[in-house]
Amino acid sequence: MSTSRAATLRALTATVSMLAIASTVGVAIPSASQAATRHTGTVKVLSAGSLSNVMTLLSAAFKHDTGYSVQNMSEGSSAIASGIVAKTLQGDVFISASVKADKSLEGSANGNWIDAYTLFGTSPDVLAYYPQSRFASALKTRPWYDVIREGGFELGRTDPAVDPGGVLDVDALEGIGYAYNIPSLLRVASSSGNVYSEDAIPGLLQAGQLDAAFMYAVSADAAKLPYVPLTGTRNLNAQYTVATLHGASDPAPAKAFVTWLLGPRGVTIMKQQGLVALSPARVVRAP
């Protein structure tokens, strides 16, 4: 056997042995993508409360892929927009569930916080329910607006003053209430006793403290809660957008996050969590 061939065989044997050892002890061999340059820094994201669980997954995947960390704060989109304008909230990226919230950040009167946003996905407003609720069977077979009016039914919704989803909840209740002349639904729509924060509702449902609550489907899916559509209503959907905010402390991570979010990896994760992705995403510039 020639000297060069023997050397080649020794190198191959060493490589196979290394892979076998790594497999045995659970050590990952870096892929080409993992071996790419890693970044440092943090992007501060202000995101719609309905995406709080999804943002946990997105943040971990983004850090894995790029090295950048994500500091996320989730709340109602309208409340976030108001906080940005009032300068009580600071961030690099705004992920909203309402185009109206984005528009409230445009123009000199509002501080010129954004000059464009990208509409990238939607999710319908639905009625999620506690699987062991005594009303669960009825919700599967009867109109939702009949079941929620039964005695002892505990319903949850969000505050329309701070959450765009809360506006849709009221639209659903009032729309059916007026269309079918059901005054009790109008009373439910005006009551403050059934209003909870967006981030609290999934936990209240999972614990059985509520029988049902209005949520976006993407939020219900992430919390593994069953739901029924709001039959009798139309076009009650979240419109998810993303925008970089002017004055970001470090624009590089912010730009990288938006690019990644709208790319194949981010879109795949959001689809897996129930978000209906728009293809292609649509950029809307301020007038």
DSSP string computed for the chain: --HHHHHHHHHHHHHHHHHHHHHHHTPPPP-TTTTSPP---EEEEEEEGGGHHHHHHHHHHHHHHHS-EEEEEEE-HHHHHHHHHHTSS--SEEEES-HHHHHTT-SGGGT---SEEEEEEEEEEEEEE-TT-TTHHHHHHS-HHHHTTSTT--EEB--TTT-HHHHHHHHHHHHHHHHTT-HHHHHHHH-STTB--TTTHHHHHHTTS-SEEEEEHHHHHHTT--EEE-TT----EEEEEEEEPTT-S-HHHHHHHHHHHTSHHHHHHHHHTT-EEEEEEEEEE--
Whether 247 has a pLDDT exceeding 50, the answer reads yes
pLDDT at 37: 59
Beta bridge partners of 96: 241
Average pLDDT, integer, range 122-132: 97
- pLDDT: which is higher, 24 or 239: 239
Of 23-27, 207-211, 219-223, 280-284, which gets the smallest average pLDDT? 23-27
Tell me the pTM: 0.81
Q: What is the pLDDT of residue 20?
A: 37
Q: Does 16 have pLDDT greater than 70? A: no
Asked which of 6-20, 77-91, 181-195 is least confident by mean pLDDT, the reply is 6-20
Q: Check whether 42 has a pLDDT greater than 80.
A: yes
Nearest to 251 by CA among 93, 63, 113, 72: 93
pLDDT above 50 for 2: no
More confident residue, 177 or 32: 177
Once rounded to an integer, what is the mean pLDDT over residues 176-205? 95
Q: How confident is the model at residue 139 (pLDDT cuts 50, 70, 90)?
A: very high
- Cβ neighbors of 17 (< 8 A, separation 6 or more) are none
Q: What are phi and psi of 246, to 5 degrees?
A: -65, 145
pLDDT in tens, 200-218: 999 999 999 999 999 999 9
Alpha-carbon distance 213 to 127, whole Å? Answer: 6
Res 217: pLDDT: 94
Is the pLDDT at 122 greater than 80? The verdict is: yes
State the Cα–Cα distance between residues 127 and 143, nearest whole angstrom: 11
Q: Are 130 and 205 in contact (CB under 8 A)?
A: yes
Beta strand 69-75 pairing with 116-129: unpaired
Tens digit of pLDDT for each residue in 50-99?
Answer: 998 899 999 999 999 999 999 999 999 999 999 999 999 999 999 999 99
- Say whether pLDDT at 21 is over 80: no
Q: What is the mean pLDDT of residues 252-256?
A: 93
Q: CA 279, CA 75: separation in Å to the nearest integer?
A: 26
> To the nearest whole number, what is the mean pLDDT of the chain?
87
